[in-house]
Amino acid sequence: MSEPVLSVENLSVRIAGLHILQGVSFEVAPTGVTVLLGRNGVGKTTTLRAIVGLTPRNGEVRGTIRMGARSLLARPTHRLVRDGLGYVPEDRCVFAGLTVAENLRLAERRGTTPAYDKVFALFPELDRRGRQRAGSLSGGQQQMLAIGRVLLNDNRLLLIDEPTKGLAPKVVTEVAEVLERVAESVPVLLVEQNLAVVRRLARDAVVLSTGKVAWTGDAQELLLETALTKSLLGVGSEVAESARSESGPRAAQSRTKDGIA
């Protein structure tokens, strides 16, 4: 079995006296998409921010986070990024007053050759709108820019927080298609609420509940378990039944391909 690209052990995070994460442990496989699921407010974004070193100054982080053999907790965020940890935050966080081209240039890593050809092949819209200010882009275009900034550089792991949040259905599909292609070459730890996107992209799942890991395993199998999905994620039966009907053949094919069936 391949070694995980990321290992999180007994992660505890307190912020302003609140115990947000309480002994969270999980691994991210060296290939494909691992999805971090859970109801609102259970600590998904806090988990990503702790991994990338962005916990607020009044926060306290304990536990172990390793990317390969290297510990991440003692290293500042800019060092983690240089080491190949890419992060796309929730709500995009583009520089609204700068152009698309300027946003991309800020993401270039010193001493490396930025992969503009790859980014523009995935997001042709960014090439066409290079002189446009990022703040005037649509929500979907801003999300493309946020992802494109990370993809300019080589990464060992991508952390992506709710990339389809607030987007129109057509744009959700476009973003999911890009992430599917990206995950062919670099592993992804994804926070996502849209179960259709999870169904399409994820192989492994980690479910958080009130700051603790409530379930880990095959993402497609989770979506097939109506009662389990409802209890862990709070989705209605119609959502779970849709996942069952749409993901069943795909999940079976995936498990056969991996030698599980």
- pLDDT tens digit string along 96-127? 999 999 999 999 988 889 999 999 999 999 99
Distance, in Å, from the CA atom of 109 to the CA atom of 81, rounded to the nearest integer, reads 9
Domains (range + CATH), the chain: 6-257 (3.40.50.300)
Write out the two tokens for 111. Answer: 């001493």
Please list, in sequence order, all residues whose beta carbon lies within 8 angstroms of the beta carbon of residue 75, skipping any fewer than 6 positions away: 53, 83
Give CA angle at 43 (56, 213), nearest 5°. 135
Contact residues for 12 (Cβ-Cβ < 8 A; gap 6+): 19, 21, 22, 23, 24, 60, 61, 62, 63
| Interval 47-53 mean pLDDT | 96
- pLDDT value at position 242? 53
- Tell me the residue type at 70: R
Query: What is the value of pTM for the model shown?
Result: 0.88
What is d(CA 216, CA 206) in angstroms, rounded to the nearest whole number? 5
Q: How far is CA 128 from CA 1, 15, 93, 183, in A?
A: 44, 42, 21, 25
Distance (Å, rounded) from C-alpha 155 to C-alpha 135? Answer: 27
Share of the chain above pLDDT 90, in %: 83
According to the model, what pLDDT value does residue 91 have? 85
pLDDT one-digit tens code per residue, 16-35: 999 999 999 999 999 999 99
